[in-house]
Amino acid sequence: MKIKEGFTLRQICGEWVVVGEGLAQVNFNKMLSLNETAAYLWQEVQGKEFTEQDLTNLLLDKYEVTPEVAAADVNRLVGIWKEQGVAE
């Protein structure tokens, strides 16, 4: 899986948001708000192929969380990214 081309993570007024840039994203007429943890994961994998396990490992390396909680959070996050059309 990977983040689709044309989407950029920006910090606006202290909030992390994903915005579509360029003509390829003309139908993406919204901003996707990310919390600090989701923004960290986005930054770590943008431009790379990744799996849910890669994201889970990133969480486990950075935060004190159980593998089960990390995997559940990643599964939920990836579902949102796919639903919003920013990951494939």
pTM of the entire predicted model: 0.88
d(CA 64, CA 46): 23
**Residue 5 burial (CB < 10 Å; 0-12/13-18/19+)?**
exposed
DSSP string, the chain: --BPTTEEEEEETTEEEEEE-SGGGTT--S-EEE-HHHHHHHHHHTTS---HHHHHHHHHHHS---HHHHHHHHHHHHHHHHHHTSB-
Break the chain into its structural domains and give their ranges: 7-84
Give per-residue pLDDT as tens, 9-57: 999 999 999 988 765 554 556 678 999 999 999 999 999 999 999 999 9
pLDDT at 61: 98
Name, of 26-35, 57-66, 79-88, the range with top average pLDDT. Answer: 57-66
pLDDT at 74: 98
pLDDT at 56: 98
